A and B are shown apart, each in its own frame.
Chain A
Amino acid sequence: MSLKIAVLVKQVPDHEAIVQIDADGTLDIEDRYVCSFFDEIAVEAALDIRKANADAEILALSVGGKRSVESLRRAMAMGIDQVEQLGDDSMDGADGLAVASLVAARLKTFNPDLVLAGKQAGDDDMGAVGPMVSGLMGMPLVNAATSIDVDADGGKVRMTHSMNAETWTVESGFPIVITAQKGLAEPHVPVVMRVMKAMRAKITNTSIEDLGVPASDSTGRLKRLGYYSPPTRPQVQMVSDVNELVAVLAQRGVI
């Protein structure tokens, strides 16, 4: 049986990009975008699985406008041949359920054995899309996997992930949605040749209409009220003696 793997990717600001709130209350994000950290791990994990299952078919999907194409080019440069953009820039900023609905519509025709995604995206850090796709597809879910061991012939997959204070090893049949945690795979830097090739590649797009999903209306579910600066801590109080430290901690009621 040849395995079919779908990988979900998203383009987000680099973790070192400057993000600040403008005077008019909107966000000013430095123009440094990359494929999301955990999504690249998911891409690499899919490639790792293909190393042991040479006939595995991998399809990378990204929802949104121009930026989503960039994350697909990254996935291509890393070694994925089949990529597809879902929807258009009307989906940029859509909520997790709107994104998951488009993905689920596409997966119904692709019929994957494994769906891989980052455990959360580096922009909204929501952690919604992977679990939501599992809910919409009625597939089992394993979040934040740190290892995946596929037995394609046996039709099963073994994974480890953190479950509160424990590490669980779990086993499941196909299909399943797995989200990637750090440590699952080490994303490699693609070679220049492949980057060039990916830059020139024509990226397939499937429209919201073709997917047969009602136009996204996440505004009916979430309404942004504003942005706020992170809470700041007062100037540090330096102490030179442990007894002094303990006295302050006791006074603050934390010991």
Chain B
Amino acid sequence: MTEMAQTDTAVRSMDAVAARLKSRYAAERRFRALGLGAILLSVAFLAILLGSIVQKGWTGFIQTQVAVAVTFDPQVIDPDGSRDPLALDTADYATLVRNGMAARLAPDADRNARRDLTGMVSTMATEQLRRMVVANPDIIGTTATVWVLASDKIDMVVKGQVPRQLGAAGNALNDRQLGWVAQLEQSGQVRTTFNTTFFTAGDSRAPEQAGIWGAVVGSFFSLAITLLVSFPLGVATAVYLEEFAPHNRWTDLIEVNINNLAAVPSVVFGLLGLAVFLNVFHLPRSSPLAGGLVLALICLPTIIIAGRAALKAVPPSIRQAAAGLGASPLQIVAHHVLPLAMPGMLTGTILGMARALGETAPLLMIGMVAFIVDIPKSPVDPSAVLPVQIYLWAGSPERAFVEKTSAAIMVLLLFLVSMNMVAIVLRKKFERRW
């Protein structure tokens, strides 16, 4: 009887153990499923984001051109036949483009029809003909087929970004212009090519002429200034705090402040930049110099924190060995600790720079969010940066800027991804484990 009772309790406790075990396994499975779900969800969001950007933006990398048989009419370009360079420079090339278009599409066009014709090609065409004539005045009097840039409205229709029906969403062409587009396409006088303008031009209010080169150069200058200022300062601060400074209340206070600074919203740094760099030091407004200095302030805490972590990771035995061989504290740091900590510091710096590359808010305050056409030649010229250019285009009413915005986002992402890649490669290559 007692034996029976004993086995019964044993069986029951075995059951209880099995049940608990089962519930623990179940809890683990749930936890794993949750984790996997979280990852899948974020991957899905990322895929949707990237997908929509690429889908909207890939056409930004191609542009539409129209073939125009241009007669370089001496009567229009150079009526007195002097071939004076100034006269060639300022001649009415718009008329040449219009005449060429009219000859092909509507020989007896009235004033309104000629206006519609003008709206088909970009104003860049005029500039293109001017350059051709100035470079080679001998073509005056001849006729040549020239591929000129189509206007943004034609561009949108040809690339299929807006439907072709008259009055359809986003279609700004009238029936006459739509007919001409069909006519040109049938005779093979419309082509799409790689959009070099996008990578060589500055900003423009005409979407087909707008490019990101000005913003890329601006970003380059800003980041160069940021690196020059924040890297030496950040490394020096980290080395001093970690290797030389005494541990007392003051250094604790400094450490807390640095950690706080890393979390300060970036627009606050912009206000600081406005008050100090612009109003006190009178640095030029909208310049990458002022922008780079503000971004350096944003980067500094990241670099210092990463730098200190890298220095802490160097084992004390290295320092002791160097000291044992008679090295001075400066020699210990400069010859042994710092080279070993450098990969970690570089990683932190690159991540900080990647953050700086994506900032717009602080630059708003110092006037970098502006319409700037000229490509900056030095860090004191006014210039935009990549994220600012994206922000400005996203706010432009013209439909064709939608694809330009997404295309610029892709370029910015490419830069960010490659910077992060460099950080990973550096870490993999130079990282040492003890």
Whether both chains belong to one complex is answered with no
